[in-house]
Amino acid sequence: MSLLNNSALTGITFYQRWLSPLKCFHCAHAAFYGGESCSVAIARIIGEQGLGSPVITARFATCRQAYGHLPTQMTGGPHVRGVCCCGPLPIPFRCG
């Protein structure tokens, strides 16, 4: 595995261990569809196909679309849950 892939996986592991628990929610993809969160899915894709895989971009796009389908009580207000953790989506670090 390349240094770039290893660095990306190290960053994802750091995010999963230290940042994600502070947010108190999963990404929009996991909240809307169930299954793996984006960080778990992207780590798996990097391990299987490498960092340059177009599947990674597709996953972020699907997560962004899922965000638009979540109920407003999940995406706004004092109890934020289900907002995507990655890509061009907002990352509110607050929870109820």
- Looking at residue 28, its pLDDT comes to 87
Q: C-alpha distances in angstroms, 37 versus 1, 33, 50?
A: 23, 10, 18
Asked whether residue 24 is assigned to any structural domain, the reply reads yes
pTM above threshold 0.75: no
Provide the token pair at 74.
């999940």
Q: What's the total number of domains in the chain?
A: 1
Domain housing 40 = 3-75
Asked whether residue 57 is assigned to any structural domain, the reply reads yes
CB 32 within 8 A of CB 70: yes
> Can you tell me the mean pLDDT for 43-54?
96
Asked whether residue 89 is assigned to any structural domain, the reply reads no
Asked whether residue 94 is assigned to any structural domain, the reply reads no
Asked whether residue 82 is assigned to any structural domain, the reply reads no
pLDDT-derived band of residue 31, with 50, 70 and 90 as boundaries? confident
Asked whether residue 15 is assigned to any structural domain, the reply reads yes
CB 69 within 8 A of CB 21: no
- Looking at residue 96, its pLDDT comes to 37
> Can you tell me the mean pLDDT for 87-93?
47
Residues of the chain above pLDDT 90, percent: 45
Asked whether residue 91 is assigned to any structural domain, the reply reads no
